[in-house]
């Protein structure tokens, strides 16, 4: 099967999935969310070598920006979030969809700008210091929002319900997540095969040498994180409207759940590859749903075991392992005399590029 037919088949399956499995529309939408956050984490963690533990900040920020915008175009935000106001707040369908679509986009823009500002402070850190620094941002943001009464404080925000048939609403959210996921994948497939992709791979391999070659490493790091934040922010905005109600610590800035899951997905599938985060997200989501349904009470033990096995035995991830076993599938020719060295064929992609 050619690559084009393969992509067409994947797209066709994605389009019919919510109709073929109508009872699992929400789970399928969540799968696309996992693909999005896993791909965006891999931009900095896998392709650029900066392992962030705080990308969940962009998810929560996008959720709140979209929610506040959607409320603000129709009502006073402070009065709306005052549980004791006693007022009745209604939204027209137009107000709802403007809040959903424009609010999610604004969430992405806000997160990109935030990434540029935070990046100036955090990209001076390396290794575990960068990871802890980004984690601190996410934790601090959750606590700050939890004490900000104007946007609901610790009780969170309740957004308007989808104005038409709720089953139709599940389709809308599924296709919004799918649209963002497909656009992100196509964008990264192109980006990783440009000079920009080669530059961030060079930063990952040896940042000092990259600077010696004239690469403005800070600029590339900032742009990479800003792009990742943009897509995570949009996904957060959509999630806010899908959940209807969300609060800061358990839903928006959930560092020990989605904040860790996105890292595990990339590691499981193979960080630094285009398909690795996608494969990892699919397998992790299926594993999580099965254990959460059939091993209730032991689900976190099973998840911990999966993380340990992945880190200890599959450090390359599934796609990385397959690439080592079958390099010819990725356009890599292994020299027969030693079987150890490999060189890319003419026009082959750089390490970590689209595969």
- Give mean pLDDT, residues 313-335: 76
Q: Please report whether residue 190 resides in a domain.
A: yes
Q: Please report whether residue 257 resides in a domain.
A: yes
Q: How much is the pLDDT for 351?
A: 43
- Going by C-alpha positions, the residue among 19, 37, 66, 57 that lies closest to residue 242 is 66
Helix 166-191 to helix 3-20 angle, to the nearest 10 degrees? 160
Q: Which residue would you say has higher pLDDT here, 128 or 176?
A: 176
Q: Please report whether residue 8 resides in a domain.
A: no
User: For residue 298, what pLDDT band results from cuts at 50, 70 and 90?
Assistant: confident
Model confidence at 310: pLDDT above 90: no
Q: Please report whether residue 345 resides in a domain.
A: no
Q: How confident is the model over 118-154, as pLDDT tens digits?
A: 999 999 898 889 999 999 999 999 999 999 999 999 9
Q: Please report whether residue 177 resides in a domain.
A: yes
Q: Which helix (H) or strand (E) holds 333?
A: strand 332-334
Q: SS3 for 256?
A: coil
Q: What percent of the chain has pLDDT over 90?
A: 68
Q: How much is the pLDDT for 204?
A: 94
- Give mean pLDDT, residues 312-341: 72
Domain that holds residue 190: 30-81+90-330
The answer to whether 245 and 157 have CB atoms below 8 angstroms apart is: yes
Q: How confident is the model over 74-115, as pLDDT tens digits?
A: 999 999 988 776 778 899 999 999 999 999 999 999 999 999
Q: Please report whether residue 25 resides in a domain.
A: no
Q: How much is the pLDDT for 296?
A: 74
Q: What percent of the chain has pLDDT over 70?
A: 92
SS3 labels along 263-306: HHHHHHHCCCCCCHHHHHHHHHHHHHHHHHHHCCCCHHHHHHHH
Model confidence at 229: pLDDT above 80: yes
Q: Please report whether residue 43 resides in a domain.
A: yes
Please state, in angstroms and rounded to a whole number, the distance separating the CA atoms of residues 166 and 249.
27
Q: How much is the pLDDT for 293?
A: 81
User: For residue 326, what pLDDT band results from cuts at 50, 70 and 90?
Assistant: confident
**Range in 187-196, 227-236, 305-314, 341-350 the model is least confident about:** 341-350
Model confidence at 30: pLDDT above 60: yes
Q: How much is the pLDDT for 135?
A: 93
Q: How much is the pLDDT for 353?
A: 46
DSSP state of 330: G
Model confidence at 352: pLDDT above 70: no
Please state, in angstroms and rounded to a whole number, the distance separating the CA atoms of residues 34 and 291.
17
- What are the tokens at 297? 């009470």
Q: Please report whether residue 326 resides in a domain.
A: yes
User: For residue 338, what pLDDT band results from cuts at 50, 70 and 90?
Assistant: low
Total domains present in the chain = 1
Q: How much is the pLDDT for 348?
A: 40
Q: How much is the pLDDT for 3?
A: 82
Q: Give the chain's mean pLDDT.
A: 89
CA angle 101–239–261, rounded 5-degree value: 140
Model confidence at 289: pLDDT above 60: yes
């Amino acid at each position: 099967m050619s690559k084009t037919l393969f992509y067409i088949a994947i797209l066709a399956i994605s389009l019919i999935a919510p109709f073929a499995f109508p009872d699992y529309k929400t789970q399928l939408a969540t799968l696309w969310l996992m693909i999005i956050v896993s791909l965006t984490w891999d931009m900095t963690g896998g392709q650029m070598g900066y392992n962030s533990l705080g990308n969940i900040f962009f998810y929560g920020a996008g959720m709140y920006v979209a929610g506040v915008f959607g409320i603000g175009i129709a009502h006073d935000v402070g009065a709306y979030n005052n549980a004791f106001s006693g007022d009745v707040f209604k939204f027209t369908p137009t107000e709802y969809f403007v809040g959903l679509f424009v609010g999610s986009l604004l969430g992405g823009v806000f997160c990109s700008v935030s990434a540029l500002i935070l990046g100036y402070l955090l990209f001076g850190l390396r290794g575990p210091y960068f990871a802890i620094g980004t984690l601190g941002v996410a934790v601090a943001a959750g606590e700050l929002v939890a004490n900000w009464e104007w946007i609901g404080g610790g009780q969170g925000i309740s957004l308007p319900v989808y104005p038409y048939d709720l089953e139709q609403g599940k389709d809308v959210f599924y296709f919004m997540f799918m649209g963002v996921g497909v656009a992100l994948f196509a964008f990264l497939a192109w980006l990783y095969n440009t000079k920009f992709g080669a530059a961030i791979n060079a930063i990952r391999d040896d940042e000092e040498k990259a600077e010696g070659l004239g690469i403005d490493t800070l600029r590339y790091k900032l742009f990479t994180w800003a792009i990742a934040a943009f897509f995570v922010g949009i996904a957060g905005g959509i999630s806010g409207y899908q959940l209807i109600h969300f609060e800061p610590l358990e839903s928006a800035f959930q560092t020990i759940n989605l904040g860790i899951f996105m890292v595990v997905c990339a590691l499981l599938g193979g960080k630094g590859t285009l398909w690795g985060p996608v494969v990892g997200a699919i397998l992790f989501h299926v594993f999580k749903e099965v254990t959460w349904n059939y091993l209730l009470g032991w689900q976190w033990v099973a998840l911990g075991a999966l993380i340990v096995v992945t880190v200890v035995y599959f450090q390359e991830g599934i796609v990385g392992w397959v690439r080592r076993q079958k390099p010819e599938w990725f356009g890599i020719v292994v020299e027969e005399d030693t079987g150890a060295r490999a060189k890319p064929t003419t026009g082959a992609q750089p390490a970590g590029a689209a595969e």
